[in-house]
Structure 1
């Protein structure tokens, strides 16, 4: 993905923030257990900066875990949706490439479904700058469980239509892509989980992805209408079982 393409896709969420908030999946408790296990400390009472917080799906879960969390979000639409949904959690405007945070001020820097919108050459030093000694940088993504047949078939349909390789994108979620030097020694964990949602929620989730948002409403609507037909053949009761592998990468500072 080129820098200009990345920027276009990243900004596309602002016009669809409500759809994003309504359709996107959450994260399972096992993810936060894994974060604490790898970091060697509890999230409870830890100072956490959640970067690229979006509508606050992960931020709210960190807050519920007992963290003293602050959200950082660059987008107007996403930040507005965040404030409506989570008025009690502080949010400041900014992005991962130039964090609006003081040096050595937080115990965790987290990126939920957001690291790939940064320039790692800038974002990695920034994360290390704001972390306290012994702090942790945690990055995670909900990825489709492509070993589930219906999910693999659906991903192939998306790939053919939009010219993307979903399997390759999942393989690219790895420590070397985040830190090519390997100096930080990222640990990796995968947590499988699932949710059952109405077909309309599943389609709203799918349509909130940047690949749909940047291709225009008419093209996306046509694809999603056809996708509904495929889904109802697999799930005639209209309830879709989405299965995810949350991929977690975590590194601690000296």
Structure 2
């Protein structure tokens, strides 16, 4: 079977795995509150697959909520960082288009910042197969909050060099017998300007650039926030978008 078109780009994260682990943002507690609300059950005690687990950011937070987590990650570099961060978590190497789990074996399948690397024609049926009757598929992304002026200006500056992925995904589920609910959570983190630039550098459109072009672009982009935030620190604002999908036959 041919690889999904995005998978080569997805594997590029292996080259920046250590930087990814220390600079990418976490997810706010309100996100997991919303997952529990829409799933109709607590994460504590749930059998959860963190698919596309990367370096284990969501894995750790799901475990802190009491979930029994299995991490699944295709990239060797990312998986190595996850293993260092979460040595007790079962780790499976593989793709979301094919889940090596038995029928009805999972309560939650989570895709944190990772659903766009799958082919929904394959990954949705696989998720529905592996979920228990009352299980849910939970997808979420941190997106830059462009209602904040300096963020909007940065996004506009970088737009010619970046290609995003759609995070409004409810329409992708129209062909399937499912029900879809969404939430959006605003939050921010306090970091340095340099950490902000290093975080940008872990996004796939920068990772696959020529190194000299990437360094030049990120260096030029450092100028504006450095001027705005003279003390070297900023609040990096996000809108965390959540989509929760459940089989239409479930009675939540």
TM-score (norm 2): 0.94
| 1:148-163 paired onto structure 2 within 5 Å | 148-160=148-160, 162=161
Task: Tell me the SS of whatever aligns to 2:197.
Answer: helix
CA contact under 8 A between 1:8 and 1:214: conserved in structure 2? no
Choose which of 194, 205, 208 in structure 2 pairs with 1:214.
Answer: 208
Unaligned runs of 5+ in 2: none
2:222 matched to which residue of 1? 228
The 1-side partners of 2:77 and 2:111 are apart by 19
Distance in 2, matches of 1:183 and 1:191, equals: 27
Task: Give unmatched runs, 5+ long, in structure 1.
Answer: none
> Structure 2 matches for 1:182-197, cutoff 5 A?
183-197=177-191
Residues 163, 207 of structure 1: CA spacing in aligned structure 2 closer, same or farther, 3 A cutoff? closer
State the 1:250 CA deviation. 0.2
Structure 2 CA distance for partners of 1:111 and 1:83, relative to 1, 3 Å:
same
Spell out, residue by residue over 1:189-246, the C-alpha distance to the aligned partner (whole angstroms, 9 max, x if none): 0001000101111111100000001112111110111111111111111102110000
Computed over aligned residues only, the root mean square deviation of the Cα atoms, in angstroms, reads 1.4
Distance 1:5 1:215 in 2: 17
Alpha carbons 1:188, 1:248 under 8 Å: kept: yes
TM-score, with length taken from structure 1: 0.93
Measure, in 2, the Cα distance between the counterparts of 1:7 and 1:108. 23
Decide which structure has greater helix share: 1
Per the TM alignment, residue 8 of structure 1 is displaced from its structure 2 partner at its CA by 2.4
Runs of 4+ residues over 2 Å off in structure 1: 180-183
**Equivalent in 188, 196, 200 of residue 202 of structure 1:** 196
Deviates more, 1:86-95 or 1:42-51: 86-95
**Deviation by residue 1:50-92 (Cα, 9 ceiling, x = unmatched):** 1000000001100010000100111111001100111111111
Distance in 2, matches of 1:218 and 1:242, equals: 26
Q: For this pair of structures, how many residues does the alignment match?
A: 246
1:163 deviates by 5.4
